[in-house]
Structure 1
Amino acid sequence: MDSLITAAGHALAAGDPLGALKRVALRDDAPALALRGIAMAQLGDFARAKELVKRAARAFGAKEPVARARCIVAEAEIALVSRDLNWPRKALDAARLTLDAHGDHVNAAYGGYLDVRRLLLIGRLDEAERKLGALDPAPLPPALRTAHALVVAGIAMRRLQAKKSRAAIADAQRAARLAAIPALTAEVDSASRLLDAPAARLITRGGERVLLLDDVEALQNSKSIIIDACRHVVRHKKTELSLATRPVLFALARALGEAWPADVSRETLLARAFRARHADDSHRARLRVEMGRLRKLLAPLAEVNATKPGFALVLRRARVVVVLARPVEEEHAAVLALLADREAWSSSALALALGTSQRSVQRALDELAATNKVQPFGRGRARRWMSPSLPGLATMLLLPPPLPDH
């Protein structure tokens, strides 16, 4: 490999894409195409980067399997950063096997971290944790040890494990200092700020207050009944009742939880659950049916008793009922939470991460765009969406994982 290619590679490894381009910008041989693609990706021109890396892979061909496999790993990284999460995982798996077979264990491991990061983005925490366990960071260079620690921290945050998250962030900071790559250091700093950002709100009859991730973890380990409006579950110690597919029942449970120990009038419950401004006998009959279903569901934790004006929760074992809600609640809040990472998302990637249909996501994006809360750019398959991040809020931490059917 000639000296210019070597120098460009060292520049990219050090986070200097402009230095790399100075050496290979006018060359069209396969190694130069690959390096140009990576440089363009570091500069944020993902469409051009993807095109260059694909050209490089074709130019290397079957006669140079290792170089071609490295291009596939680079293409997967570009797809991940540009939030194109539907890239073919089988191609990445095959590239990793090729790299391992030829002794390039560092790039093979990096491909593994890309796969795990994708799983983390779309909420597949169990699968991400399982694959992460198969990767040993000890023999890897500092940059990959940083990536490993960031993924550990990301999984721990989504599992509401603040202590484990802080330990992983500390590991990432140490490895990032050794790597001395400015972009990597910035990524670690961004992850660190999430630990000290508002993660949720605690709502009780006495009012509400903001919680950090440490507070949420402590709440999960308390003896309270938690009506979790972030993940649509009712939780007490090790008992967890999911209402993710039953929005009416969850709306009723939340209304009762916010009012506890007082009762809630039937008119309020009708408005919260059915959005009925003018309730008639059919609404009241449906309310009785739904309250019966809720009473049966919550039986292990609490009773739902009828009162003269409405209904009230009566606890069995727990002493307190609290409601855990997102820091900001509005229509399409889950879409905004994903877009708040300041990355450009495709509608298909948002649908994958939220476990819903692309058509539903597109409708939500159109409504948000009409109020200038998100902005599109690009056309057709290259269209991406961005939103100004909600300042100082850990918006993604309490997103529910996709339902098992998705």
Structure 2
Amino acid sequence: MDSLIIAAARALAAGDPLAALKRVALRDDPPALALRGIAMAQLGNLTRAKELLRAAARGFGPGEAVARARCVLAEAEIALVTRDLGGPMQALGAARATLAAGGDRANAAHAGYLEARCLLLIGRLDAAERMLDALEPDALEPDALPPPSCVGYWLVAAGLAMRRIRTEAARAALRRAAHAARKAGIPARAAEVKRASHELDAPAATLVARDEKRLLGLAEVEALIASDVLVVDACCNLVRAGTVVVPLAGRPVLFALARALAEAWPDDASREALVAGAFRARDADESQRARLRVEIGRLRTALRPLAGVNATKRGFRLERTRRDDPTALDA
């Protein structure tokens, strides 16, 4: 590898794409095309970046599988930014295996972090967590990941902790990300950490309890769901109290009824309001009332470990089987 390629690669690693382009802008050999593609991606011209990376991948010979895998890795990172989670991301697993087999541990670990980030974006939290756990021994070694990639690793860890509603774990991961960002000295990475920190401190849910309606931070949500309060959770479509959880994600009518009853508590909810909210019907005619009785019976069975649903003259009321008041938690 010649000195200009090495210098351009170092400039890109330091977050200086213009310095990299000065060294390889007029060259069309595959390594230069790959570096130009990465530089264009850092400058925000993602369309041109993909063209250059694909041209570089085509130019590498049969014995340069690791170099082609690096191009796939760079293109996958662009796809992640543009939320194109199809072809480029699907090729990432094979590229990671090629990089690991070729001894490029740093880029293999970087590919693993990108896979974890993709899994986090599509909501596959368990798979993302397993990927991070598999990467952790490598990612925590001082030289296993360059600082910019370490920032990304800890941002994914923070995102997972936030979605798992683990506030302290999220803060710890963001502290590690901020440390890596300072070490990298790349403003864009530092801005990513700052945005994630703002997200952690931003309101995470709305609490509706009796006559109270207010915003909650993530730490307050964590404390609420750890208590014995009956929570109708519109963030996850479930009803919980302490460690007892009744999932209703696949039963939207039952969840709508539970939410309406919790929001009306300690009063009852009228049959008209329940029919309108759960069935989207304007009038509570006899057929709708009959359907309401059936669905209330199903809800009563589902919530038996947590609460009762009793009929009143006007409609139905949620009766807590433990001391704490029912509460509705909205996304």
Give the TM-score of the pair, scaled to structure 2. Answer: 0.95
Match of 2:196 among 186, 191, 194: 191
* Equivalent position SS for 1:134: helix
Is it true that 1:93 corresponds to 2:93 in the alignment? Answer: yes
| Displacement of 1:60 | 0.7
Compute the RMSD of aligned alpha carbons: 1.4
For residue 119 of structure 2, what is the aligned residue in structure 1?
119
- Deviations 1:338-366 (CA, angstroms, capped at 9, x unpaired): xxxxxxxxxxxxxxxxxxxxxxxxxxxxx
For residue 138 of structure 1, what is the aligned residue in structure 2?
140
* Equivalent position SS for 2:322: coil
Counterparts of 1:96 and 1:265, CA distance in 2: 58
For residue 28 of structure 1, what is the aligned residue in structure 2?
28
For residue 317 of structure 2, what is the aligned residue in structure 1?
312
* Equivalent position SS for 1:171: helix
The aligned amino acid for 1:250 is F
For residue 150 of structure 1, what is the aligned residue in structure 2?
155
The aligned amino acid for 2:103 is G
For residue 243 of structure 1, what is the aligned residue in structure 2?
248
Counterparts of 1:88 and 1:149, CA distance in 2: 23
What is the 5 A alignment of 1:360-379?
none
The aligned amino acid for 2:106 is V
| Displacement of 1:35 | 1.0
Kindly indicate whether the alpha-carbon contact (under 8 Å) linking 2:272 and 2:283 is maintained by their aligned counterparts in 1.
no
| Displacement of 1:90 | 5.7
Is it true that 1:209 corresponds to 2:214 in the alignment? Answer: yes
Counterparts of 1:320 and 1:49, CA distance in 2: 56
For residue 175 of structure 1, what is the aligned residue in structure 2?
180
The aligned amino acid for 2:54 is K
- Deviations 1:299-351 (CA, angstroms, capped at 9, x unpaired): 1111100000010011112411111102xxxxxxxxxxxxxxxxxxxxxxxxx
Say if 1:35 and 1:282 are closer, same or farther in 2 by CA, change over 3 A: same
Kindly indicate whether the alpha-carbon contact (under 8 Å) linking 1:225 and 1:318 is maintained by their aligned counterparts in 2.
no
Give the TM-score of the pair, scaled to structure 1. Answer: 0.78
| Displacement of 1:89 | 5.2
Counterparts of 2:298 and 2:220, CA distance in 1: 32
- Deviations 1:257-291 (CA, angstroms, capped at 9, x unpaired): 01111111111111111122222111111111111
Kindly indicate whether the alpha-carbon contact (under 8 Å) linking 1:227 and 1:257 is maintained by their aligned counterparts in 2.
yes
Is it true that 1:228 corresponds to 2:194 in the alignment? Answer: no
How many residue pairs get aligned? The number is: 326
More helix by share: 2
Counterparts of 2:288 and 2:16, CA distance in 1: 64
Kindly indicate whether the alpha-carbon contact (under 8 Å) linking 2:236 and 2:249 is maintained by their aligned counterparts in 1.
yes
Counterparts of 1:179 and 1:164, CA distance in 2: 23
Counterparts of 2:149 and 2:323, CA distance in 1: 45
* Equivalent position SS for 2:215: strand
The aligned amino acid for 1:138 is L
Kindly indicate whether the alpha-carbon contact (under 8 Å) linking 1:235 and 1:241 is maintained by their aligned counterparts in 2.
yes
Counterparts of 1:87 and 1:195, CA distance in 2: 31
Unaligned stretches of 5+ residues in structure 2: none
